[in-house]
Structure 1
């Protein structure tokens, strides 16, 4: 199974500018609290299917840990309630506003290119006609669509887009991924989507059904088996409703194989775990941390911290998970 390590330095402040990111978290948590008034409509997750034990509670939502060390909110908002959160809540409105995008566009545009380049590097392996579509799920940024277009990845379908796609790219739109069953797609891409899917197993199965035989599913997500989440636990920088599924490396393997996929690559090329722990500790200096990590963060230089981050990547211990799976 392939694994990828990234050596470039990434600054957490560039990814999450405090002035706008803190406001997004605030509005997201407020939207989550608003949905709690409709808790009679909440549902149970369709994955995991085995027993789970209580892990912690955050903003009124209970997280459970299963045998694969994945974390799940249960009960959780229904698919319809999550659609409201993603498209019509105050958090969604703010994320789409110029107040937010003006501060984050440089990083987003650069990251869009890297994502499209990654997709292109996978596409060259696919032995399917190039006129078969690529499906991108819950597209958030036009820059990603434009980058994919520049890489000539074929016709693009946007499923459940969270923006109005550019007309100039002549894209096809779909209301749900499930509605694209039988599309014989070459690729399905889902960047940071599964972490807020109400029914993760149904979502993965829908991706499988939308692909042609030999097609590829590419996804990224926050992962519970990453250093910052395992170290900080309920104090980690995760929050409902953005993160109701925090699937571990082992959990992702089980989830995808249950849906019928063959896993080609599973990597954790994250670059921010150590910075995230350090940032939380700066905000909460009295937070209890294992003595090793408190000592390390206080007494070692940036080179040592980057070395630790590289070690986490090499051993699939970063909380940023990226997967390539094939419909066999």
Structure 2
């Protein structure tokens, strides 16, 4: 029987079926991952802001990406950490709001990765035009447009989702308010919310992924034609970092939202990858394979040591 009193409706977040001891171990591991993720992404943002050598469009988008990664992991991992120690409940309104917020962040990651691939495409394929085309105003417009589209894209599914009635056991078989576990509790099949979300998810994910791959086809063709060996190496280094992030991210995302698998346990494990593990891997990939970022980090450390010596004297 449907429950129409949505003001008091609450869901129990099932999370992972683990013992207390297993929960404590998992809590320790994922809390460490969460802490390292936040610190690593804050470090990238700080370096780009402090070092004038990193005042480039590529690093402007990278700071947006790092800021986004902090929010993605903060929107999901703390709930998972709380659930590992005790079962938690959430109201319907709060859960739908949480779903909308996570959908915004997910859409933004797709748009931003596409914008970053566009930046690399222009930088490598049209290097002489790059400073003119990717000026400060254009960069702000691209980032602002991506954020605006991210807020608007999941609005229809979220609003129509709030009008649905929910039946049966009010247990979300996941560790946060994701779409599929929530829609499974709805009394209505093939609702506007379900149809619109699945269409938008496929359109955004596959659309951005296709644009990124097309960009890199032209990028690789241009790199191969470069006469300078060092130029080819530097271009490949930058692009492989971005492509590594793209393949890790889209590998998990397509599995969850484009070709959904019926196993809830497997879906939860894959979700852990793109909500907890990937946000930690991204700053590592971008820094360890990026000579400019490593050089900026060394310069910043040298400046800090000099300031320390001055203060001691």
TM-score by length of 2: 0.26
TM-score by length of 1: 0.25
| Higher relative contact order (CA closer than 8 Å, sequence separation 6+) | 2
Greater percentage in helix:
2
Greater percentage in strand:
1
The structure that has the greater radius of gyration is 2
